[in-house]
Amino acid sequence: MNRSMAGKVAVITGAGPGVGRSCALAMAADGADLALAARRAEPLSALAAEVAEATGRRVLAIPTDIADLDSAAALADTAAAELGGVDAVVNVATAGGARAAVADIDWEDYRHSFELNVIGTLEVSRRAAAHMKAAGGGSIVQIGTLSTHSVPEKMAIYTSTKSAMHTASMVMARELGPHNIRVNIVTPGYITGDNLDRLWHGIADQTGKTAQQVSDRAARAAALNRHVDPEDIAEAVLFLASERGRGVTGLEIRVDAGQLIG
């Protein structure tokens, strides 16, 4: 049995630097045609061109703000009309929200994160699922966060909205299972890249340490003594999105180098 994504169509939201880009390259290299979605049209088009040139696959750029319900609703339909269907969805797009104690939360900020992390993500997922049902099955992969397990202070906006997405996705796994549609979650640890570098520099400024010292200390706290790369996340996503993971649904896979257990 061919368990690659050859001949399949995948939709990736939040298709920007880091995890979105790595997922796009991995899935296209495995044979999938792609519909890439993000808010900013210019970098999105550049990524689509990069992936198409590197892999020879059809790659469609669809500027989309999934916090806007109409925009989120149109994504899967546009991808299906242009590429012939939707077999997999990877929801990388996320809104972190401001760091604030619950007592100080700005509800407008909370509302925006909820609209993107929960409503927009689920709207993309359920619209895509309608096309998957017609095709006899498919796969939905959500990107989670370790903060739903570690519940850090001043991250209630991000943690609670991602928790709601997590729970709703597990319910979707039960509801869509009879249609041969799988729903799973990949939860990263500290992902190398510009965002993580900025985090280390911010902590370094507050502690008097160097950014490298802060990074090394965090790495030592993980069981594997390292951080994870965007490509590590993409490999887990590819497994779940393709027929390699055909027996897996309703599962959260933590790709965190053992950060949570470290």
Give the residue numbers marked as catalytic.
158
Kindly report the number of other CB atoms within 10 A of residue 256's CB atom.
Answer: 23
The interaxial angle of helices 211-220 and 194-207, nearest 10 deg, is: 110
In the chain, beta strands by DSSP E: 9-13, 33-38, 59-63, 88-91, 138-143, 181-188, 252-255
Q: Are 125 and 74 in contact (CB under 8 A)?
A: no
Q: What phi and psi, each to the nearest 5 degrees, are found at residue 138?
A: 170, -170
* CA–CA gap between residue 140 and residue 237 (Å, rounded): 10
Helix (H) or strand (E) holding 203: helix 194-207
